């Protein structure tokens, strides 16, 4: 069986249509033409999403004695976002093309331009490698070939100008660079640009109270709900440093240039954990969490070379280390998770803005301090997308037919087992229902009587069900069934009494959680 090769665009289209056809993801309010960059999870999608969230939650809270969870509100006091810096600083530099009326993130236009230059460099290097054969010295050639040197200089100028423009707020520098590089609008092809302006990414709304109205924000990240509850949790849970607080929940960002399906949405879900440590010990824990978080991704069965760490070159002013975990999508390595050493910035700011002490008394050191924080922050929807790219496979079978199979880790699969009576008569459905009623307490089970068994197997393959149990006439006499494995398509005759154990072994949380620590 061979996976069929597809180009990235084809693969994306295939994933989006598969998600719709099999009840994973629908465009939001589709009967009204949908809402840009907002999606709804369907009957199979919600199961997978719940499982991914549970996997994260267990890996944090159940696996660590010193991490607890909370569920803070989406609405928070507006001062929270002043203190966190989001009111003044959480914005993207945008530029409009006057001809196409399309709006772009100015930094992304420049980064896309850098990618194009990098592709040109690669082309030059390929050509040279062919020309010089075995004697080709790639490094030396890159350093001395005038074309490549000049390309690299342009890449650097873009980095420097972006950094300077964003740090000083002189957005004219960015516009000037876009003009100098003659970057054109991908839609109109023209260079007729407006000035670059900053757009805040937070959505605001009003809250009415007896003393009037106040402006509130929909939270753009879940982390602040953890910071403002730091003392509540520490005191009520008698937590001792180092300890962590985790939470999952919706976050909202007015992403103007939302694209790539659930990769960048206006409403999405984050899973964040803040780990509070002694000042000076943060980099030790930063390394610890880098390793644990990478293992979390790999434990789902992904090949090691599909992930990489990408250190932030431009650190936020409050961070002393930051790295992204990137997954190799067919359209390039992209961030799926961030790990940040945030110093004591957030707690200090909340202390300043609220006037409440955000300190911890360390009994071992006999001193008070504001703890330092390591944050791990991952997008649940992006991980969902990774699962689709990684595991949705089209295979050519030995008989020449093709099948679409979603080879998700069994512990994460929306349904664990499908119970399928071969025929809809002669007591087979009743026997099958009995098995369903037995297994449903432990596993999310699917029951289906319609269509040929082959078609039913294909449908379960497409939603990732690791096991199918088929009930036939022999079952009634011998109390046995056919167990079919999703990945190998192997079929085994087993006793009904063995089902529970066989399924358990493969779908248990242990089967995935214990790989994180390996």
Cβ proximity of 470 and 492 under 8 Å: no
**107 contributes a contact to ligand ATP by CB under 6 A:** no
* 345 binds ligand ATP per the rule CB under 6 A: no
Give the shortest CB-108-to-ligand ATP separation in angstroms. Answer: 10
CB 516 within 8 A of CB 59: yes
Non-local (6+) Cβ contacts of 335 within 8 A are: 310, 324, 325, 326, 382
Query: Rounded to the nearest whole angstrom, what is the least distance from the CB of residue 278 to ligand ATP in the complex?
Result: 24
Of 176 and 320, the one with the shorter C-beta distance to ligand ATP is 320
Residue 419 DSSP class = E
Asked if residue 382 binds ligand ATP (CB under 6 A), the reply is yes
Q: What are phi and psi of 296, to 5 degrees?
A: -60, -45
* 265 near ligand ATP (CB under 6 A): yes
**Should residue 346 be labelled a site residue for ligand ATP when binding is judged by CB under 6 A?**
no
Tell whether residue 94 is a contact of ligand ATP (CB under 6 A): no
Give me the least distance between CB of 396 and ligand ATP, in Å please. 34
Q: Which of these segments, 16-24, 234-242, 335-343, 413-421, binds ligand ATP (CB under 6 A)?
A: 335-343
Confirm or reject binding of residue 248 to ligand ATP (CB under 6 A).
no
- Per CB under 6 A, the list member of 11, 44, 248, 270 interacting with ligand ATP is 270
Site string for ligand ATP, 188-227 (x = CB under 6 A): ---------------------------------x------
Look up residue 171 and give its two tokens.
Answer: 């957005």
Number of residues that bind ligand ATP (CB under 6 A): 16
Site stretch for ligand ATP (CB under 6 A), options 163-171, 333-341, 361-369, 457-465: 333-341
Cα–Cα dist 355/344, whole Å: 16
The rounded Cα 232 to chain-centroid distance in angstroms is 29
Burial 28-37 (b: 16+ CB within 10 A, else e): beeeeeeeeb
Tokens standing for residue 236 = 């009520």
Q: Binding to ligand ATP (CB under 6 A): which residues in 350-379?
A: 377-379
In the three-class reduction of DSSP (H, G, I as helix; E, B as strand; rest coil), residue 205 is classed as strand
249 touches ligand ATP (CB under 6 A): no
86, 253, 349, 484: which one binds ligand ATP (CB under 6 A) = 253
Question: What distance in Å separates the CA atoms of residue 38 and residue 264, rounded to the nearest whole number?
Answer: 9
Distance CA 429, CA 471 (A): 8
Using the rule CB under 6 A, is 515 a contact of ligand ATP?
Answer: no
List, as one string, the DSSP characters of 225-245. HHHHTHHHHHHHTT--SSEEE
CA distances from 225 to 32, 72, 273 (A): 34, 5, 11
CB of 40 to ligand ATP, least distance (A): 15
* Residue nearest to ligand ATP as judged by C-beta position: 379
Q: Which residues bind ligand ATP (CB under 6 A)?
A: 221, 253, 255, 264-265, 268, 270, 335-338, 377-379, 381-382
């Amino acid at each position: 069986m061979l996976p069929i090769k597809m180009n990235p665009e084809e693969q994306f289209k295939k994933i989006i249509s598969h998600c719709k056809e099999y009840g994973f993801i629908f465009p939001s309010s589709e009967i009204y033409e949908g809402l840009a960059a907002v999606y709804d999870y369907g009957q199979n999608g919600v199961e997978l999403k719940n499982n991914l969230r549970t996997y994260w939650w267990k890996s944090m809270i159940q696996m660590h004695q010193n991490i607890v969870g909370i569920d803070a509100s989406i609405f928070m006091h507006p001062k929270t976002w002043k203190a966190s810096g989001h009111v003044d600083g959480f914005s993207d530099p945008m530029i409009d093309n006057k001809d196409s009326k399309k709006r772009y993130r100015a930094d992304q236009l420049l980064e896309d331009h850098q990618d194009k230059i990098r592709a040109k460099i690669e082309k030059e290097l390929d050509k040279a490698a062919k020309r010089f054969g075995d004697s080709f010295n790639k490094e030396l050639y890159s350093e001395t070939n005038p074309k490549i040197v000049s390309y690299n200089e342009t890449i650097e100028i873009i980095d420097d100008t972006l950094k300077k423009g964003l740090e000083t707020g002189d957005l004219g520098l960015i516009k000037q660079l876009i003009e100098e590089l003659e970057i054109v609008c991908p839609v109109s092809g023209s260079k007729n640009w407006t000035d670059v302006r900053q757009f805040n990414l937070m959505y605001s709304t009003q809250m009415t109270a007896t003393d009037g109205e106040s402006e509130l924000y929909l939270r753009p990240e879940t982390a602040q709900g953890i910071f403002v509850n730091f003392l509540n949790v520490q005191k009520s849970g008698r937590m001792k440093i180092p300890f962590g607080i985790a939470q999952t929940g919706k976050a909202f960002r007015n992403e103007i240039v939302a694209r790539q399906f659930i990769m960048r949405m206006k409403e999405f879900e984050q899973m964040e954990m803040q780990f509070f440590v002694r000042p000076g010990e943060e980099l030790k824990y930063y390394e610890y969490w880098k390793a644990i978080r990478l293992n979390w991704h790999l434990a789902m069965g992904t090949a090691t070379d599909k992930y990489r760490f990408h250190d932030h070159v431009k650190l936020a002013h409050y961070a002393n280390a930051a790295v992204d975990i990137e997954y190799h999508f067919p359209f390039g390595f992209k961030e799926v998770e961030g790990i940040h050493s945030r110093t004591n910035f957030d707690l200090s700011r909340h202390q300043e803005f609220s006037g409440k002490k955000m300190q911890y008394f360390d009994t071992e050191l006999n001193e008070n301090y504001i703890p330092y924080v390591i944050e791990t922050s991952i997008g649940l929807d992006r991980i969902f997308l990774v699962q689709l790219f990684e595991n949705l496979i089209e295979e050519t079978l030995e008989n020449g037919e093709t099948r679409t199979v979603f080879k998700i880790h069994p512990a994460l699969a929306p349904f664990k087992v499908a119970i399928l009576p071969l025929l809809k008569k002669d007591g087979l459905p009743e026997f099958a229902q009995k098995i369903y009623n037995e297994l449903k307490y432990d596993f999310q089970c699917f029951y289906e009587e319609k269509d040929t068994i082959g078609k039913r197997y294909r449908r379960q393959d497409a939603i990732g069900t690791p096991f199918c149990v088929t009930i036939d006439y022999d079952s009634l006499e011998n109390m046995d069934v056919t167990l079919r494995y999703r990945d190998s398509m192997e079929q085994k005759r087993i006793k009904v009494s063995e089902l529970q154990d066989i399924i358990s072994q493969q779908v248990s949380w242990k089967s995935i959680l214990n790989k994180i620590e390996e």
